[in-house]
Amino acid sequence: MPNPEDPKDKPKIPPPYAGTGETLILRDVLAIDRTRLANERTLLAWLRTGLMLLVSGVTLIKLFEGQTSEIPVTIADLANAFMPKLLATDEANISS
């Protein structure tokens, strides 16, 4: 059975609070650990998202690499590329 008075059985205080002279209870130490783990998960999620965007961009570049037309760069370019097709489809449906 752990003895709370024994220094080797006390919970280890994380480095940011080690020099403050405060005594933290177990609940506080566990809250610090939870926060640190949540921050690590958030960082890894951002890294995963960035890597996914990078791979998607490289895939799109490789996909359109052999085509002679330019790749649409902005939303305006995409609208100009697809708007005539959409308008032609709408006019064909309206007139029939």
9-49 pLDDT tens trace = 665 655 666 666 667 788 888 998 999 999 999 999 999 99
Q: Which amino acid is at 36?
A: R
Question: Residues 6 or more apart from 16 whose CB is under 8 A from it?
Answer: 32
Question: Is the Cα torsion angle 53, 58, 62, 64 positive or negative in sign?
Answer: positive
Q: Average pLDDT, whole number, for the chain?
A: 75
Per-residue pLDDT at 93 exceeds 60: no
**3 state SS of 16:** helix
